[in-house]
Chains A and B, each alone.
Chain A
């Protein structure tokens, strides 16, 4: 079985400051890792994913996440946030084995960017 823990339920930050949203997972099998973003009253959008290869993955809007196998973490970072980054962020894992495209989500971290 897999589980995902997002260590902060809310993260307040000032505009142009750096931010890190923490994600740890537990799994007995290898997994793919994802970050999704949800704006108010909308569905989830894929932000970035780790499948294999370089442990550092980047999104088109300046976010990056680093896969750390020894610490079973996949923390999300941005060096300088904007007001428009205010949203809820979900970390998710998908086991490589198993019969279908299963996603296990963390509880989410609400990022609030203040001017």
Chain B
């Protein structure tokens, strides 16, 4: 079955440490997205990529970095510069130019600070 796989499901970070969240899709979608979800705030866009080797900042990119070396993969690194990283992180993908096609979501990674 086609879908989006996020790993790990739970992740713990020590102060000052960088961590990388994995997102892989086999839907053959060109566009991929990273969102952060906090209680009572809905989803906020961190980064998005419409094509391999290209990505753009979203609304809350500070303290995060991404890469898009393969169509199937869009890893997110939470750097030590992100002062409040505890959140639920969701990866999504879509056909980029068809706005009527919805984004498909993975099951998320919950990041906590030790």
In Å, the complex CA distance between A106 and B102 comes to 16
Is A43 within 8 A of B103, CB to CB? Answer: no
A49 touches B102 (CB 8 A): yes
CB distance from A46 to the nearest CB of B (A): 5
Q: Which residue in A43, A51, A105 is a CB contact (below 8 Å) of B42? A: A105
Interface size class of B (residues with CB under 8 A): 20 to 34
Q: Complex formed: what's the CA distance from A101 to B92 in Å?
A: 11
Greatest chain A CB density within 10 A among B6, B43, B94, B107 is at B43
Given contacts A90-B42, A100-B48, A107-B42, contact A41 B107 (CB under 8 A): yes
Are B43 and A51 in contact, CB atoms less than 8 angstroms apart? Answer: no
Residue A84 interfacial (CB < 8 Å): no
Cβ distance B97 to chain A, nearest Cβ, rounded Å: 8
Residue with the highest number of chain B CB atoms closer than 10 Å, among A43, A95, A96: A43
Closest to B31 in A: A101
Residue of B nearest to A106 (CB): B42
Please tell me which one of the listed residues A43, A46, A49 contacts residue B90 in the complex, with CB atoms under 8 A apart. Answer: A43
Nearest residue, chain A, Cβ from B44: A105
Q: Select A100's contact among B4, B96, B105, beta carbons within 8 Å.
A: B96
Q: How far is the CA of A41 from the CA of B103 in the complex (A)?
A: 18
Contacts of B41 on A, CB cut-off 8 Å? 107
In the complex, which residues of chain B have a beta carbon less than 8 angstroms from the beta carbon of A87? none
B interface with A by C-beta (< 8 Å): 4, 6, 9, 31, 40-45, 48, 50, 56, 90, 92, 94-103, 105-108, 110
Sample 26 A-B pairs with CB under 8 A, ordered by A number. A4-B42, A9-B40, A32-B100, A41-B9, A41-B107, A42-B108, A43-B6, A43-B90, A43-B92, A43-B106, A44-B92, A51-B100, A90-B42, A90-B43, A94-B99, A100-B31, A100-B56, A101-B31, A101-B94, A101-B103, A102-B45, A103-B103, A105-B42, A105-B44, A107-B42, A108-B42
